[in-house]
Each structure stands twice: as C-alpha cells, then as structure tokens.
Amino acid sequence: MNTQLPLAVQLAPEPSLEDFISGDNGQLLDALSRLALGKEQGNLYLFGPEASGKSHLLMGLCALAQEQGLRCAYLPLKDILDLSPELLQDMETLDLLALDDVHLLAGRGDWEEALFILFNQRQAASRPLVFSADRGPASLPLALPDLRSRLGWGTSYRVHPLNDEGRQELLRQQAGRRGLGMDEQAIHWLVSRHSRDPRQLLRLMEELDRAALAAKKSRLTLPFVQRQLSA
C-alpha cells in the first residue's frame, strides 16, 4: 500500500440525520429523530423527487436507531428486487424497518403480497415501518389496493429538495468534514455553473478531495476547482 496516500481521509462520511441539510424538511427530521429515539411510534412515509435526500434520511434514521440499541434494517429495494421476497419473512421482529423506493414494487405481485403480509405482522406487533417513494401512497400503481391503503395509514411527509442556499451549505459541510477549506467563490461557481444535483455535488467533492490530497492543498480555491474539473 502506498503510505503517502491517506485513504481514510478520502472516505465519504456515513449518512446521518445530524449532517442532513434540513432546508424545508425540519418537521420531517424531527419526526425521524423522535422515532429513532423511541419517543414516538407509528409508520412514516416519505415521498419526493429523485435526489431529494430520501435514502440519506432512511440510512440516517437506522444509524441513529442502532445507536440507541434498536434492531433496525435499511432495505434499498432497487438493489434487492431480483432476490426472493421471502427475505421479508425474517423482518417482522425488528424494532424498526426502513424500505427505500417502495414504488419499485409496483407490478411485482410476489413482492407486493410479501410486503402486505409483513405490514400486517408489524402492525399487529406495533413495530414501525418507514417507507420512501417518488410519489404519495395514493398515487402508487400497485396491483394490491389493500397494500396501497396500508401505506397511507401512517404520517406522510413530502421531502423538499435543497435550494441553492442549501446546496452551498452542503458543499461547506462536506469540505469541512474532509478537513478542507473552501472559498465562497468556488462554492457559488460549483452550484451555479456546474451542477445542482446534490449527488453530483458529492461526487465532485470526492474528486476534488483526491486532487487536493495529491496537490497537498488544504483549501479549495476557485482557480484550483476550475482547473481540476476542466482537466
């Protein structure tokens, strides 16, 4: 291993509720925190457009719940739909369960039925479920109308994407977590001229972090950022 390359510094931090830029999602963040801390029970349903932070919120929820000693699982449905829905059979006793991108179940009869059964089991045991989707529960094109109805039983929250101010704060936060200073000019340029997608901004920060390490720089200036991203 090349000892001159501090790989640990380059690792992106694990998502948490604490580092989520709340923007207009303060009420939702509070609800997730209260659920993870055991201060409230009940199902939650998060919906919003792609890249609005839904996966970050669900992973952060589970991380906080596990810190409290709860048994929690995060299921990214886009990564497991090719597996057997029988894996849901082992999920009924968990303290907290978060299912990401539940809209992807639409048209998958075996998965819809398995989730319907799991929902009823957890409801009977008063064990909460948290869902995310790209639309509200009433708009999901599910084959099982009873499942659509069940998904609407809990509290629903629309996840609001970050505005430009929030995206700028995201860059400041990510630079700081990597031990980097970042000029305001560079922050404004990245948001206004390069990308407004938070996921793309995070990928750019990883790229800039590696470049700064290689150049032994501790601050991201506008000329340096422009030079690296135009190379």
Mean pLDDT of the chain: 91
Q: Which two tokens stand for residue 3?
A: 């000892």
β-pairing verdict for 181-182 and 219-220: parallel
Q: Mind listing the pLDDT tens digit for each residue in 88-134?
A: 988 999 999 999 999 999 999 999 999 999 999 999 999 999 999 99
Q: What is the rounded CA–CA span in Å between residue 16 and residue 23? A: 15
Q: How many independent structural domains does the chain possess?
A: 2
**What is the predicted pLDDT for the residue at 45?**
98
Question: Would the pLDDT of 182 be above 80?
Answer: yes
- Asked if the structure places residue 1 within a domain, the reply is no
**31 and 109 assigned to the same domain:** yes
Q: Which of 109, 141, 158 is the last residue of a domain?
A: 158
Q: Which domain holds residue 170?
A: 162-230
Beta carbons of 98 and 62 less than 8 angstroms apart = yes
% the chain with pLDDT above 70: 94
- Asked if the structure places residue 13 within a domain, the reply is no
Q: What is the pTM of this model?
A: 0.86
**94 and 191 assigned to the same domain:** no
**166 and 198 assigned to the same domain:** yes
**63 and 170 assigned to the same domain:** no
Cα separation values, 148 from 102, 159, 180, Å:
11, 19, 46
**83 and 166 assigned to the same domain:** no
**209 and 136 assigned to the same domain:** no
Question: Would the pLDDT of 4 be above 80?
Answer: no
Q: Mind listing the pLDDT tens digit for each residue in 23-81?
A: 999 999 999 999 999 998 899 999 999 989 999 999 999 999 999 999 999 999 999 99
| Cα 173–chain centre separation | 16
Farthest CA pair distance, the chain:
59
- Asked if the structure places residue 198 within a domain, the reply is yes
The CATH number linked to 62 is 3.40.50.300
Beta carbons of 138 and 152 less than 8 angstroms apart = yes
**127 and 212 assigned to the same domain:** no
Question: Would the pLDDT of 14 be above 80?
Answer: no
- Asked if the structure places residue 31 within a domain, the reply is yes
Q: What single letter denotes the amino acid at residue 159?
A: V
R_g of the chain, CA atoms, integer Å: 20
Q: What is the rounded CA–CA span in Å between residue 84 and residue 110? A: 9
Instruction: Dihedral sign for Cα 78, 80, 83, 85, please.
Output: negative
